[in-house]
Chains A and B, each alone.
Chain A
């Protein structure tokens, strides 16, 4: 288990949003389901490597890399 951000996930990989740093998550994303403890899956990366298409808590969202790098997640070791 180690700490990283959504921005460093590869397509198809999963992680869990960290409980500690939830106040770093923009309110809007929190409201759309990016809650501490929730499972995040990276579904697709747009051409030019930005934005990212994720699925979290049943919501399918596109967010920019800049935002994604602010959301800490816990990822299982390979």
Chain B
């Protein structure tokens, strides 16, 4: 007999160990559909409950209430409103923290009133003794008429009990409301509401009224009835306030019978740590020290595995070259696809290390303190204290950074953060910067110990941050967007990070980046290779023309081949594209070959290096194994007879890549997060214009 699958959703306040429970239940059987094309925002995984019952577990974003104030909380509302009718989820597991049980039960009472089978998991039982807390589970079970499990997820205690409770709750289908909101607020009003569409639980109707959000399955007629009723309603806000106070009254009554805290036993590590971490001076010193440490480690620790990956891919490429017969396919694989994939894989160490730090900072509870410290400063630039997390993540990759803005509740603050995040130096810019700096900045030391090249790279990072801040200030002053910003951040208790949670966080973010960037680069390499080795009529005649022209000259076979290859590239489709934009980019110091790299870079910046590698290798027919850097250094500007990548061109390119919005994946994610093409287009053209003008100025001044 095949196993039966049920849907289980995990819901709970932030910092209750909900994600730990998700990781415990699903282990490696989890996936996230977060990237362009996949419109699922949920983390899902599989677990086995009993012999013949399996569960698909969904980890919903952390929230304090079903009434949303930010984009990620809206996801929770949407999935719960669909619950009864979509058959997802069958059982809701509310994860609560034993220390803040009262506040956690508010969310539980709301979920319970949706009349879906529910399990209450009270987590962090191991902390009870230290904090002087005792809970009478049997009394609690009776009072709330629900399955209750006391567990310590971190220690792996109680997972089986949770599974059993899920099965029990699923089989009994028992789902009675906890708080009868109608009697306490305005009985007549709520009775009328209930009669309006009797098939829905009263609280669900009330949510449709207050949140203006409806289940997918609702009929147009019913929806209209509710909207009309809503338009006739007065005092909705007052009712919501009364509802919340009533819920807390009910919770207090319940907890009086089942929950005792002996304050005298509580120790206060939090207060002592807060004195340091939120200190007016030391708080900042510590934070900036930590940032420096993080960036230092990214470069130090990552260089070893990165060199290894680089060498491995180069070896692999030449090995494959030796195995395959000569021809276009071999070129495609060894010059296009393998270096292309290598160009993505090489970022893994840096991205993983950065996300490792961010995950640790979030897990320990320190990130909330940073948000607290930075809020006032960030607000001067139209952002929120919460914007600091996207801006730091942006140094790895803008895609997860843009998604991390979801918990910023003010729309304007969130929008400004999304719009400026692509200015921070993401890891895709790194190979471009690295190769250009190596070409045009001398390998010298300043004051005898500071590497000039390292200093240049650091300047590019600072340039990115400063531009982001200035852009935010301009947007803050010019954007006319209606938005009520509301800011409240919980300052969680400090705790040691759970290695398992950190591991999964790093794995998930890194995997998403690799797959997403990898797909684009692979596609671009193939398209590019095709466009470079095909062309219109003039392409087919190119070889003949060169031979005819060269007849009178005394050329060696090698030089002739070189000339033929050049003419072919120039007349290929991609060559024609590069030639077309050449007049526009000439004032910046670029020729048509760099133009080709610019075109392909609009898909993803890191393609720049690979594109030039492909172009120069298509051009040079020999099998030399010179590196891309050597080939670029050898490239000659035919007008001056000197090196193409001289100082003015290199600087102009650096500035161009610092400012231009060259990442299709980010544009796609911005479109999704802002629900409009307007903002990504503003980013594309605004940043493009800034890049063009700045590079023009830089090149004209320097040359």
Contacts and interface: CB of A to CB of B under 8 A. Distances in A.
Contacts of B241: 22-23, 25, 27, 30
B215 interface: no
Nearest to A48: B376
B102 A47 contact: no
Given A44-B274, A46-B372, A30 B284 contact: no
A18 B371 CA distance: 29
16 contacts: A27-B240, A27-B241, A29-B488, A30-B241, A31-B64, A31-B67, A33-B102, A35-B248, A46-B376, A53-B372, A53-B491, A57-B102, A59-B490, A61-B491, A62-B371, A63-B488
Contacts of B271: 43
Contact of B375 (A22, A26, A33, A51): A51
A61 B489 contact: yes
B76 to A, nearest CB: 13
A8 to B, nearest CB: 18
Interface string B98-140: 0110110010000000000000000000000000000000000
Interface in B358-385: 368, 371-373, 375-377, 385
Contacts of A61: 488-491
Interface of B: 64-65, 67, 69, 99-100, 102-103, 106, 237-238, 240-241, 244-245, 248, 270-271, 274, 278, 280, 283-284, 368, 371-373, 375-377, 385, 486-493
A47 B486 contact: no
A57 B103 contact: yes
Interface in A26-61: 26-33, 35-36, 43-44, 46-51, 53, 57-61
B237 A63 contact: no
Contacts of B373: 46-47
A22 B654 CA distance: 56
A7 to B, nearest CB: 14
Contacts of B248: 35
A41 to B, nearest CB: 11
Contacts of B491: 53, 60-62
Contacts of B106: 31
Nearest to B69: A28
Q: Is the interface of A mostly helix, strand, loop or mixed?
A: mixed
Contacts of A10: none
A47 B376 CA distance: 8
Contact of A53 (B67, B278, B376, B492): B278
Contacts of A60: 270, 490-493
B260 to A, nearest CB: 14
Residue among B64, B377, B488, B492 with the most chain A CB within 10 A?
Answer: B488
A67 interface: yes
A53 B241 CA distance: 23
A29 B375 CA distance: 18
Given A51-B385, A60-B490, A62-B371, A22 B103 contact: no
B238 A28 contact: no
Interface residues of A, number: 31
A46 B277 CA distance: 11
A33 B371 CA distance: 21
Given A61-B488, A62-B368, A30 B375 contact: no
Given A23-B238, A36-B245, A62-B489, A31 B372 contact: no
A59 B97 CA distance: 12
Nearest to A23: B241
Contacts of B376: 46-51
A43 B278 CA distance: 10
Contacts of A47: 280, 283-284, 373, 376
A57 B102 CA distance: 9
A28 B245 contact: no
A55 to B, nearest CB: 9
A1 to B, nearest CB: 22
A46 B278 contact: yes
Residue among A46, A49, A59 with the most chain B CB within 10 A?
Answer: A46
A31 B106 CA distance: 7
B680 to A, nearest CB: 30
Given A22-B245, A27-B240, 15 more contacts: A23-B241, A27-B67, A28-B64, A28-B69, A28-B486, A31-B67, A32-B103, A35-B248, A47-B376, A53-B491, A58-B102, A59-B103, A59-B490, A62-B371, A62-B491
A43 to B, nearest CB: 7
A67 B271 CA distance: 23
A26 B368 CA distance: 21
A53 B365 CA distance: 14
Contact of A31 (B244, B368, B375, B487): B244
A24 to B, nearest CB: 9
Contacts of A49: 376
Nearest to B368: A62
Given A27-B244, A62-B368, A62-B491, A67 B375 contact: no
A67 B241 CA distance: 16
Contacts of B274: 43-44, 53
A44 B102 CA distance: 24
Residue among A22, A44, A50, A59 with the most chain B CB within 10 A?
Answer: A44
Contacts of B99: 58
A9 to B, nearest CB: 16
